[in-house]
Amino acid sequence: MEKRPLRRPHGKGLRTVNGLGEKDFEAYKRNFFEYYDDLIREYFGPFERFKLKQGRIARVLFEHDTLRLPSKYEWVVTRLSYGKEGELLVPRNFYILTETVLSLDCRVGGIFRVRNSITTIKECVKAINSCVDRNLSYSEARRLLIRDFNVIDLTTAFKEILREYSTTIIPESLIDTMFKIAKVENEEDQVILCQMLFISMPKTNRHVLEATIYFLYVIHDIATDKGKNHKDNMNMEGISTIMMPNLVIKPHSELDLEQVGTLVSFMRMFFANFATVVQLDPNILEL
């Protein structure tokens, strides 16, 4: 089936961190930490900076949890990318679900907000994963999914699929970093520190996070007529709030309510500034 063209939520394609090759990314990360060394020192101690840089030794001792799949063939290229260069890879079940949703009419009320029955969602997730296990084409998988499930079912299942991965999309080892960034009063510093957090993440986690946020913005823009009508659907603050646990917190987490509230505040700010966070910093490019 021919896919519908996507309208970019933030205009034309950007030069992004995820668009860099491995060597260029490592050079960019090194230059980023050097350029913003004084700023980062204001908020993080030497041990924290050592872990955030994820150099060779730090990766051996304190590597962030990496999102892994049983087979490299389960990773596929998605078009849910802010970048104009490089390929963004996501798990096949993520790809099948998001493309199926985007092929349907998303101008319905209650997306990401209506509570479905647990049984329906489990059946939906099972059906999607079965399509992957049977190595079905996207077209065949879509045919089976739209026969049994609607947009609300699929968008609710999206949250469940994120929770099923081997690790949280934003590694749990970065939760303390998010706490600190959320409490920074200077907004420009906050965004720079969000860029720091993003480049500290493993590659696969960065790819899935970018595709997730892009997807959520596209769905929001369709469902709300580019933010003109929030009567029946949430704004991006609301969406970022309900998505936070699915991106950051594993089940049975021991975080208290105040900590959860801090992560919600962080995620709202992170989503609102993500087009800047994912973009290559012009100050670093000039080095």
pLDDT per residue, tens digit, the chain (287 aa), is 556 666 666 656 899 999 999 999 999 999 999 999 999 999 999 999 999 998 888 787 888 899 999 888 899 999 999 999 889 999 999 999 999 999 999 988 888 777 778 899 999 999 999 999 999 999 999 999 999 999 999 999 999 999 999 999 999 999 999 999 999 999 999 999 999 999 999 999 999 999 999 999 999 999 888 878 788 788 999 999 999 999 999 876 789 999 999 999 999 999 999 999 999 999 997 55
Backbone angles phi, psi at 134, to 5 degrees: -90, 0
pTM to 2 decimal places: 0.94
Do 128 and 157 contact (CB within 8 A), yes or no? yes
Q: Does CATH place domain 17-285 in 1.10.555.10?
A: yes
In one letter, which amino acid is 231?
K
In one letter, which amino acid is 9?
P
78: closest CA among 57, 66, 93, 67? 93
Residues 6+ apart with CB under 8 A from 105: 151
Alpha helices in 117-167 (DSSP H): 118-133, 138-148, 151-164
- Give the chain's end-to-end CA distance (angstroms, integer): 45
Rounded to whole angstroms, the Cα distance separating 11 from 255 reads 37
Rounded to whole angstroms, the Cα distance separating 7 from 215 reads 11
* Residue-level pLDDT at 7: 62
167: closest CA among 64, 16, 24, 282? 64
* Residue-level pLDDT at 251: 75
206: closest CA among 242, 163, 247? 247
